[in-house]
A = this chain, B = another copy of it.
Amino acid sequence: MHPSLKPSLLPSSGFEPLLSLLQNQLSAVNTCLLQKMESPVALIPEVAGYLISLGGKRLRPLLTIASAELCGYKGERHIHLAACVEFIHTATLLHDDVVDESTLRRGRQTANSLWNNKASVLVGDFLFSRAFELMVADGSLEILDILSKASSAISEGEVLQLSMSHSLELTQETYLKIIESKTARLFSAATEVGAVVAKASDEKRKALAQFGQALGIAFQLTDDILDYTANQGQLGKTIGDDFREGKVTLPLLLAYQKGRETSFWEDMLAKETRDDNDLKKALTLLNESNALIESKQMAEIYVEEALACLTKFPPTSLKSALEELAHFSLHREM
């Protein structure tokens, strides 16, 4: 059975229904991405094209399109705006890989490891500027307002994360602030932009912005859990990356706050590097302390919140697909 034909609301159908409903629009977004990253400077489409061709889930542009169409939008502007959102996302990925010194993304080499940090920084800057150029061409100051504020918030979140790197003084509150800024804010902007382009009511606009926000937090929480639990081949990156980088995420924080073996975590974060044996012990403690399960429970709360936001919309296959996406954010393995 084709995934999109599976009964809705089953977590396992995950991401497919949305993709299946919006495949033409997504294909138009992909064409737009390819066109708009063109430049007489060959290295730009080379690096940008590599990252964009890695594909990923195109989750954020799909959210813009889905939100617009959920609010009855019939035009073409949402395609271009979805491409803007993806350009901003791609720019942050290019810069993140430089900041995190990552070598793998989605199972393939990162741009900074294939070219160099310099190209990643500058091509990221180009994509970011190009996104704003496209938004200006679209002509809505309201949308420019949403996405420029989201962009500031993303870098603010990234800098906050950098400041708190290796620090066990991180609180759950600050951890949430970081993931809200660095991840959920662009999800929320993506859905809100869809509502704005469709001239939706304030109520629907707020509901969709909040849906994006809650979904984004659930996705990032799951990401942080998967960093410790995923099947390496499926996740397409190295297990324990966050731990090796000394990045304190919710699972580590919860395990530490249980008060058992606190000195292990303190020693780990005080060290220059952490090796495979360190990771092994960390995984044991994360499991024994229930930190991974509790992290997942927190993600569930956000999935519930996301689902609640959708009750403002009448039942349609698109709404069901977004509901399944919310479930998928929790149960995904990659």
A41 proximity list for chain B (CB < 8 A): 156, 159-160, 163
A163 proximity list for chain B (CB < 8 A): 41-43
Stretch at the interface among A67-75, A121-129, A218-226, A282-290: A121-129
Q: Does A296 contact B (CB under 8 A)?
A: no
User: Interface of chain A, helix or strand or loop or mixed?
Assistant: helix
Stretch at the interface among A12-20, A25-33, A137-145, A264-272: A137-145
Q: Does A188 contact B (CB under 8 A)?
A: no
Decide: B117 and A98 in contact? CB cutoff 8 A. Answer: yes
Decide: A95 and B117 in contact? CB cutoff 8 A. Answer: no
Decide: A130 and B152 in contact? CB cutoff 8 A. Answer: yes
Known: A119-B159, A125-B154, A139-B141. 11 other contacts (CB 8 A): A43-B160, A43-B162, A99-B118, A125-B128, A126-B152, A126-B159, A129-B148, A133-B148, A133-B149, A141-B141, A144-B144
Q: Does A155 contact B (CB under 8 A)?
A: yes
Decide: A159 and B43 in contact? CB cutoff 8 A. Answer: yes
A155 proximity list for chain B (CB < 8 A): 122-123, 125-126, 129
Q: How many copies does the complex hold?
A: 2
Q: Which of A73-101 contact B (CB under 8 A)?
A: 92, 95, 98-99
Decide: A125 and B95 in contact? CB cutoff 8 A. Answer: yes
Report A's interface with B, CB cutoff 8 A: 39-44, 92, 95, 98-99, 117-119, 121-123, 125-126, 128-130, 132-133, 135-137, 139, 141, 144-145, 148-149, 151-152, 154-156, 158-160, 162-163
A158 proximity list for chain B (CB < 8 A): 122, 125
* Nearest CB in chain B: distance from A127 CB, A: 9
A141 proximity list for chain B (CB < 8 A): 136, 139, 141
**CB<8 Å pairs between A and B, sample of 22:** A41-B159, A41-B163, A43-B160, A44-B159, A95-B122, A95-B125, A98-B118, A99-B118, A99-B121, A99-B122, A117-B117, A119-B159, A125-B151, A125-B154, A126-B156, A128-B128, A132-B148, A133-B149, A133-B152, A135-B148, A136-B145, A144-B144
* Nearest CB in chain B: distance from A255 CB, A: 26
Q: How far is the CA of A118 from the CA of B96 in the complex (A)?
A: 9
| Identity of the chain B residue whose Cβ is nearest the Cβ of A98 in the assembled complex | B121
